[in-house]
Structure 1
Amino acid sequence: MNLFRHRHFSVLGLPALVLLITAAGCSSADDSPASAVPSPDATVAGLCRKLDEVLPAKVDGVRREDPSPASALTAGWGDPAIILRCGVAQPPKMVDPDVANGHDTDAVPGGVEGVDWLMEKQDGGAFRFTTANRKAYVEVTVPAGHDSSGVLIDLASAIRKTIPERKTL
């Protein structure tokens, strides 16, 4: 339901909604980090489940500690957590001509160990990487303090094995 289409939408209810979403996203019985679970189609979800089965126990030297809610579409390592989400939507920056031409310094395409990535700078020194040219988009958020290249190297083999390349013309 699109709330912005209804004329009776209450602006006063918006702060309460934001507070509720924030509290729900931050609270957890086991103190694991929260991560939104993607909602891909059945084909992509199947690829993501295969990826989950072969993800490494350690990434950048830290052990796997999955975020909540538990899902085969998300994984995490360490604290602050490196978060992987499989089956996300294609990032708008991936089709932005300024990125492709190197004119956008906040988003950079590149490849690591046979996997192409779009790198986007985030607040606080974090980076978000999203696979490119694959049949499913895999997003990896790397917080400041982690070696981004080490993270991508550690994940590359699992992604290559389970998420086939998308044929381009």
Structure 2
Amino acid sequence: MNSFRHRHISVLGLPALVLLITAAGCSSADGSASTAVPSPAATVAGMCRNLDKVLPAKVDGAHREDPSPASALTAGWGDSAIILRCGVTRPPKMVDPNVANGHDADAVPGGVEGVDWLMEKQDAGAYRFTTANRKAYVEVAVAAGHDSSGALIDLASAIKKTIPERKTY
């Protein structure tokens, strides 16, 4: 995969690296995909609106094509092949904001470009990634035929600029 850049990815564990570089998922061919809009608290919604303003026009080479209904809390690229939702609730497989459930083979923690992610394998080979260690949870669904590592690399800068880290000790 040409967009995979080894020197920019730090992943916790070999299984995470293997799964992260695997393209995965499925997309809507008609471009009319509907995406559930999250309902976060006002502070998180503000961070999400700021994120929407700085999201890249292209992710993994795909142009931005937002899903319906239109919302600053959701974004899409490549005819719904990559969907971002900001302000989602913490995934059940995330034990706490820092650690994925190590007993679940489908939940793998890892980091890309300074953003920590929980990775969950979905049906039909799709993957869902959710930020960890941030003051808002951002979910990115990546469809089959798209480089999940490329998508996460492309989104990392915007997330780091607008969704502050959550410090835990």
Same fold (TM over 0.5): yes
Counterpart residue number, 2:110: 110
Counterpart residue number, 1:62: 62
Q: Distance in 2 between matches of 1:70 and 1:35?
A: 9
- 1:165 correspondence with 2:160: no
Cα distance change on mapping 1:70 and 1:100 into 2, 3 Å: closer
Q: Distance in 2 between matches of 1:146 and 1:48?
A: 24
Report the Cα offset of residue 105 of structure 1: 1.2
Instruction: Count matched residues.
Output: 138
Higher helix residue share: 1
The answer to whether the 8 Å contact 2:94/2:101 transfers is no
Cα distance change on mapping 1:52 and 1:80 into 2, 3 Å: closer
Higher strand residue share: 2
- 1:75 correspondence with 2:71: no
Q: Please, what TM-score do these two structures have when normalized by structure 1?
A: 0.78
CA offset digits 1:109-163 (Å, max 9, x no partner): 0000000000000011110000001000000000111100000000000000000
Greater Cα radius of gyration, structure 1 or 2 = 1
Counterpart residue number, 2:121: 121
Q: Which runs of 4+ in 1 moved over 4 A?
A: none
- SS class of match (2:166): coil
Counterpart residue number, 1:38: 38
The answer to whether the 8 Å contact 2:81/2:146 transfers is no
User: Which protein, 1 or 2, shows the higher relative CO under an 8 Å CA cutoff with sep ≥ 6?
Assistant: 2
Report the Cα offset of residue 103 of structure 1: 2.8
Cα distance change on mapping 1:131 and 1:100 into 2, 3 Å: closer
Q: Which amino acid aligns with 2:33?
A: P
Q: Distance in 2 between matches of 1:137 and 1:112?
A: 15
Report the Cα offset of residue 100 of structure 1: 4.2
Q: Which amino acid aligns with 1:167?
A: K
Q: Please, what TM-score do these two structures have when normalized by structure 2?
A: 0.78
Q: Distance in 1 between matches of 2:92 and 2:31?
A: 32
Matches within 5 A, 1:89-108: 89-95=89-95, 100=100, 102-108=102-108
- SS class of match (1:35): coil
Q: Distance in 2 between matches of 1:57 and 1:41?
A: 27
Q: Distance in 2 between matches of 1:65 and 1:103?
A: 36
Q: Which amino acid aligns with 1:168?
A: T
CA RMSD of aligned residues (A): 1.6
Gaps of 5+ in 2: 1-29
